[in-house]
Amino acid sequence: MKRLLAALCLCSVAAVAHAEISQKFGTLEIHYNALTTDELLPEVARAYKIERSKTRGLVTMSVLMPNKLGVLTPVPAKISIYATNLNQQLSNVEMREVNEGA
């Protein structure tokens, strides 16, 4: 359970944030970010098999916990994301786990 967790999802979005945000939940710290996939470098999009588009969004999330030395370390987590459209219809967004440096 000491694997790096970076979750990626592809979904249609109307507007997205461009700054990484983090929140603390007890000892856990969650970092997340959203952007349109056209902002990805072509080589990055190819490497992760992501379609670059102004109408597709990318959400990244990392769940971190302090280790014995107090250094934040990535930990695996089950993440669920739900989105609503302009008609307030709720849908589940499928996440994909990516292990970097594994």
Q: State the pLDDT at residue 65.
A: 97
- The three-class DSSP label of residue 80 is coil
Residue with the bigger pLDDT between 6 and 30: it is 30
In order of 16, 56, 85, 91, the CA distances from 88 in angstroms are 17, 19, 5, 10
pTM of the model: 0.68
Question: Is 4 a residue whose pLDDT tops 60?
Answer: no
Residue with the bigger pLDDT between 17 and 98: it is 98
- The three-class DSSP label of residue 45 is helix
**Strands, E, within 1-102: which ranges?**
6-12, 21-25, 28-36, 56-66, 72-74, 81-84, 90-93, 96-98
Confidence tier at 102 by pLDDT (50, 70, 90): low
Q: State the pLDDT at residue 98.
A: 85
